[in-house]
Structure formats: structure tokens, C-alpha cells
A and B are shown apart, each in its own frame.
Chain A
Amino acid sequence: MYKNFFRYLISAIFLLGFSVNSNADFKVGFVYVGPTGDHGWTFQHHEGRNAVEAAGIKTTFVESVPEGADAERVIRQLAQSGHDLIFTTSFGYMDPTNKVAKDFPNVKFEHATGYKREHSNVSTYSARFYEGRTLLGHIAGKMTKTNTIGYIASFPIPEVIRGINAMTLAAQKVNPNIKTKIVWVFTWYDPGKEAEAAQALIDQGADVIMQHTDSTAPVQTAEKAGVWSFGQASDMQRFAPKSILTSIIDDWAPYYVERAIAARDGTWKQQDTWHGLKEGMVAMGPYNSAMGADLVKEVEQLQKDLASGKVHSFTGPIYDQKGNILVAEGKVADDGMLAGMSVYVKGVEGDIPK
């Protein structure tokens, strides 16, 4: 009997949540994994939120939400307190997002970088960061004197391996002797570890450093050591003005504004978005004049060609480390292959940690 009583009580609480939704103004909630001032991943999502706000839509955010047991409560509280659309901006929110979505069918959910869309009110979105890596590879291949590129990697997930491969392929195209050295730091954000990794790579002869982590420590280490570097996630030029050649910028703003307006106007539909240079979700920071006018011109042309689809980051022939063919000559890798990428291409040193 008590069990039933609680069941009614709980549904009453959830219904209360719904009624708030339909009455109150349209509101969008954001859940961030880091602080808004990380100058990388979360910073850019926050910029996206600012754009939604500037479009005249009310927003709320919760920062530094651990990807553990707390995430579900925060997402649920946003849903309960009248938010109509909720962006959960880190991979670790995948299961909690889907769980809360089940209980709030009238609230729309957008989960970044995940692959689970268990309910019709959950969309996923990510960016084709690897297109930016292709440009970085082209620049790095031309700029390196030691033919060694240092790469600080976070976790051996397909997204990170895709970036390493795209960069290496592009660098090989302009400089066949190129080698990619990788240090795995197993963190997304740890300035101390990232700086150590950068120094280790520089000590091993790398004169171009890039990273798939969020802090500004690698570019600052590169600036001090006098080697080239690239900004990641946001324009990091001001942290290492001499060293940074360009930055890969995650520009979520257009997508966030578009989806928020769609949800407000009732045209929101479930989708899996993977946008790149073409749509502007991946953008490039200003090119360093130290690259020389010719190289800048080349890279700008390549950027245009990647955006128009004339050039694809993964165009055959592509071989793995053992020399087996991955993509045949004249073919390009399809999205399915890119999404599950789990082997290095030829020219990358070392093994993927298992």
C-alpha cells in the first residue's frame, strides 16, 4: 500500500515539473564539466550559451558538474525547474541524460559527443575536429625542422585517434619523413600533467607540439621552449603569441542558437549532428605571420577545399602501422569508419594503450 502511495506521490512531483514547463517562459539549461574559465572546452560551450542569450532566449548553466552520481541530479533539477531544452556538454553525461530524458518526454535534450539516443527527445551532436587537425598537420609538416611532431593525447577513444591520424596523414603529404610522437596523459584537463608531457615531447626532439586536452599549459610550455604550438578548442593566441601558429576553435554558437530557436518554435526534431568547417562548428584561429605568406595562402585554400568537400581528411590510400590497407586509393573513409576508428595510420610511433 505504501509503495503505491509513494508511486503516486512521485508521479505527482514529476507532473508538477511538467506543468511548470508549459507555463513558464522558454528556458535553456547547460551542464558543463569544467569551470567556465578553463579557456578551452567549457569556455567555448559557455560562449555558445552567451550567443543563445544574445538571441533573446533565457538560459541557465551549472558548471563543474562531476561526471559521476551528481550529474543525473543536476540534469533532473534543470528539467524539473522549467527548462525546455538542456545541453549536456560532456561525454560522461551520456547515461544520466538518457535516464532523465525518459522521465521528461516534453523536455528536449542535446548530448555532446555521445552515441546513445535512447528516447525520441535526445539528440547528439559533435564536431568534425579532425578537419582542423588536417590543417594543423599541413602546417606542422611544413614548419618542422626535426621532422618530429609531438602530440599530447587524452584518452584512446576514436575521436582522439581520428585527430592523430588526420594530422599525421596531412603532414606526410607535405613532408614524407614526418614522425608523430604521442604522450597519453589520460586526462582532459590537468595543466601540470599537460605541461610535463609537452616538455617530454620537446626533449625527444619535437619542434611542433599539439594537444587534445583542454588547458593552455602545452602552448605556454612551447612558448618558453621556443617551439611551435597550436591552440585547442578556443583561440589561445594570447597565451603564447610567438609560438601559436593557429588554433582549432570549437564554435558551438550557431548550432546552439539554431536548436534553441527550433525548440522554442516547436520544430525541434531528434538528430545526430556532426558538423565541421563547412557549417562553421570547427573554425580556425588567426594564422601566425611566421608561417610566411605562401604557406598561409596554401592552408587557407586547403581550408576552403575541406569545407566545400573537394578534399577529404581521410583520402586513400591509407595504411595502418603494419602496412595493411585501410582505405583504398581514390576512396574516402565513410563516417562509420571514422566514428569507430581504433588503429593508428602508418607514421605514428608507438601503440594505442590497451
Chain B
Amino acid sequence: MFNTALTLADLGFLLQGALMTLAVTAVSVTAGTVLGIIFGVVRNQVGPYRAAPLTFVLDIFRSVPLLIQLVLANAFQAIAKLGWAPFTTSCVVLSLYTAAYCTEIVRGGISSVPPTTRRAARSLGMTWWQDMRYIVAPLATRVSLPSWIGLTLGVMKDSALVLWLGLIELLRASQVLVTRLQEPLLILLICGAIYFLISFPIARLGGYLEKRWSND
């Protein structure tokens, strides 16, 4: 059982894969969150009818499997001769995917701020921007942050799918090792443990914040 061909260099290879997972996640979540905040505010501002096209497009990203989205985007960039590396394609797709979910979270956060509070701000002479910045943003963040943490972790886990485009992230790295060493259980367990170690503490933080910040 404990005779294994796994060397320290192989573990390093796995950690490199984990770094790739984290890099894809960091880029996608950052870009996706910025887009999500913009889309969320726009959707809230223009009302449901005029925002319908945006809602529809974002809904597509949530209703089509991520794997299919990745393959489609990769085929598209080849057709359009954009010459994107798999890393770029993965980040673009995952960013839009994140933005689609983040929009919902931001919208929910904004609509959780009572309209009376916002009207009070405006009647004190605050501009729309000041109202957003000093009244809505702090209150909405309280509501949205736990879900946003959940989304970030979701994207981290879903980023495993970019292996289909040939990017060597954590899961793909462990698959490479499995093919070479033929010890699937051990290597997959290590891979799972790394995912778990990244995800679990942050999930707990999210749960804590949710409990701490809930109104009841």
C-alpha cells in the first residue's frame, strides 16, 4: 500500500497544476465580478423590460454546460482566427460564466436595499452616484458577499473543465500522473485533498459571514 512510485517532483507537478487552477480562477473571478457588477447595476437601473436582451444572453451562460461553452469558444476563436491560447479562451469563457452568476447576486443585493432608504439618501441631496457608493454598496455587500464567496468557489471547482482545452490544471496534472504511474486512487486522493484544502476554509468563512451578517 505504501510502496508508491510517486516522487516529490511529481507532487511539485501537482502543485503547479494547482497554481494554474488558482490563476485561471483569479483572472476569471476578477473580470467576471467587474462585469457582473456593471450588468447588475444596469439591469437594476433600466428595469426588467429594457434589460430583457441582457437577461436572456446572461441566462444562456447559466443554462448551457460549461464544457460545451468552452468547446464552442475554442472553435469560434479558431474560426475567427483570433489565435487565442487555451488559457485566454478558458479565462474569457469562465469570466462570462462568472459574470452571469454575479449579475444575479449583485441584482439581489441591490434590490435588498429598501427603496425608502435610497429615497432618504436622495432627498438629503445625495447624487445617484453618492447614493450608490455610500448607501447601496455597503448594505448590498452585506447581503451579497456570502453568495459571492460561494460563486468564487464554484468557479474554482468548475475551472477543472478547462482540461478539455488542454490546459494543465490540477485535475489534468493528476490525470497525467495517473497515466504514467498507474496509481489512480492515491493520486486522485491527493488531487481531491488539494481541492478540498483550497475550498473548505473559504467555504467556512462564507458560512460564518452569512451567519454573522444575517439580520435575524
Our verdict on whether A and B bind, yes or no, reads: no
